[in-house]
Amino acid sequence: MAPAAGAPIVALGEDLLREVFIHLPASADLLRAAAACVGRHPSCPRLLGCLLLFPNRRIGKSHFVPISASPSSSSSSAAAANGGDFALSFLPGGGWLGQGAAAWKDLDCRNGRLLLENLGSHELAVADPISRRYVSLPAPPAGRAVGYGLFADDGDSSEFRAVCISRDAASRELRALVLASGELSWADVAGIACQPNLAAGSRVMQANRSLYWRLEGGEHMVAFRTASMELSVLDLSPALRDLRFDALDRGEEEDVNVLHLLTMTGYRIEVWAGTVDGDGGMAWRQVEKSFRFHKALTEMIDPSLESYRMINPSLQSYRDDIHVIGVAAGLVFFRKWTHLFAIDLETMNLKRLPKADCLGALIFPYTIAWPPSLLNPTGQGV
């Protein structure tokens, strides 16, 4: 007897669903079927790899480095990445990343989308390399933009919010402006007086439904809370002021009011926790410290380097040249010289990514919401 019309797909059972998925003719069909079956996808984003952008090289394009052994990878999400245009050729001007008037500058990357600024027209755009679509954003109102961020809800792939940190030249305030994808208009929502500029090259960080930027001097960060639309300034631990780090989202209710920062020093991963103290400042403590990865890194790059260092102590400063890129889906990504690595925070397994040369690249861990945004088109937007 045929099932009643409108019967839910879960009524088929796990075994029958597997048979259906196995016999689908193409990866794109598998992606669509998985997206239609709620039980087949989580609310957390899928990690696909790393996006490398080379703004100062002759090629002026971006490259995608897949991560084949990621715990959160899947054949369907990998299929989506394979069909993406990571050179951003669908943007006006061909997506050129460089210094010319037609070039685009990357401002942030979240949940499969890139927030970009055209260096000639100062047009803003949010682009989705997988769906090969973009949406133009209006310029922020009066004021000088000093930083941007892109906030995406992991549970909803069809919406995003862009955040602009702007300096009011008259009052020296830092202002926060927010644009929602459903409205495409900027709203001035918060301000804080007499703060230094954002640090040069400061990359926006996201955790606890908040965005964070480092300020000049390295002693403070500015935080924007997306739920309450508030700006605040946070003290940084002296131990972190000269290091590169990323905010770590624990995803636990008891950690919502605790800011976790992950860094690498002395070839060890360190996690620091900061809470607001009674005086309105931040109290920091180190909560985790891993074993050293020096030997494993040396063997992966070039085993002869260690013996050469033993007879050339002046190379010590080069040994600690580790740049934390970001944390995504339980992996911490970092760069050592021209090499790109990932460490699984649960197993502490170290992996070298296949791209041989990442010198000069702006690198972002690349995740997509599930289901991907290309399955939820709304007009010409992303």
- How does pLDDT run across 336-359, given as a tens digit for each residue? 988 999 999 999 999 999 876 788
Of the given ranges (63-72, 188-197, 227-236, 369-378), which has the lowest mean pLDDT? 369-378
Say what the pLDDT of residue 314 is.
52
Q: Which of 90-94, 299-303, 309-313, 365-369 has the lowest mean pLDDT?
A: 309-313
Residue 376 has a pLDDT of 40
With 70 as the cut, is the pLDDT of residue 18 above it? Answer: no
Closest-CA residue to 176 (of 223, 119, 114): 223
Q: Is pLDDT at 107 greater than 60 in this prediction?
A: yes
313 against 82, higher pLDDT: 82
Q: Identity (one letter) of the amino acid at 26?
A: A
Decide: 282 and 274 in contact? Cβ < 8 Å.
Answer: yes
Q: Concatenated DSSP letters for 242-285?
A: TS-EEEE----GGGTTSEEEEEEETTEEEEEEEEE-TTSSEEEE
What is the structure's pLDDT at 155? 54
* pLDDT confidence of residue 310: 46
Delimit the domains of the chain by residue range: 42-369
At 149 the pLDDT is 96
Say yes or no to pLDDT of 159 above 50.
yes
What is the average pLDDT value for the chain, to the nearest integer?
Answer: 80
* 42-369 classified as CATH 2.120.10: yes
Distance between CA 36 and CA 32 in Å, rounded? 6
Q: What is the pLDDT of residue 377?
A: 37
**368: pLDDT confidence band, cut at 50, 70 and 90?**
confident
What DSSP letter does each residue of 98-138 carry, written as one string?
A: SSSTT-EEEEEEETTEEEEEETTT--EEEEETTTTEEEEEP
Confidence bin at 178 (pLDDT 50/70/90): very high
Residues 57-82 have a mean pLDDT of: 61
Confidence band (pLDDT; 50, 70, 90) for 25? low
Range 161-184 average pLDDT: 89
46 — pLDDT class (breaks 50, 70, 90): confident
If you average pLDDT over residues 164-181, what whole number do you get?
Answer: 88
Backbone angles phi, psi at 92, to 5 degrees: -55, 135
Contacts of 254 (CB under 8 A, 6+ apart): none
Of the listed ranges 27-31, 106-110, 114-118, 359-363, the one predicted with least confidence: 27-31
Specify the pTM: 0.82
* pLDDT at 59 > cutoff 90: no
> Comparing 11-25, 277-291, 321-335, which segment has the lowest mean pLDDT?
11-25
> Which position has the higher pLDDT, 58 or 283?
283
What phi and psi, each to the nearest 5 degrees, are found at residue 245? -150, 170
Q: Are 222 and 212 in contact (CB under 8 A)?
A: yes
Is it the case that residue 165 has pLDDT exceeding 50? Answer: yes
Cα 112 to its chain centre, rounded Å, is: 9
Q: Are 286 and 272 in contact (CB under 8 A)?
A: yes
pLDDT in the model for residue 321 = 80
Q: What is the pLDDT of residue 137?
A: 95
Checking if the pLDDT of 292 tops 50, the result is yes
Looking at per-residue confidence, does 26 or 202 come out higher? 202
Residue 141 has pLDDT above 90, yes or no: no
Q: Tell me what the mean pLDDT of segment 190-215 comes to.
A: 90
Would you say residue 370 has pLDDT above 50? Answer: yes
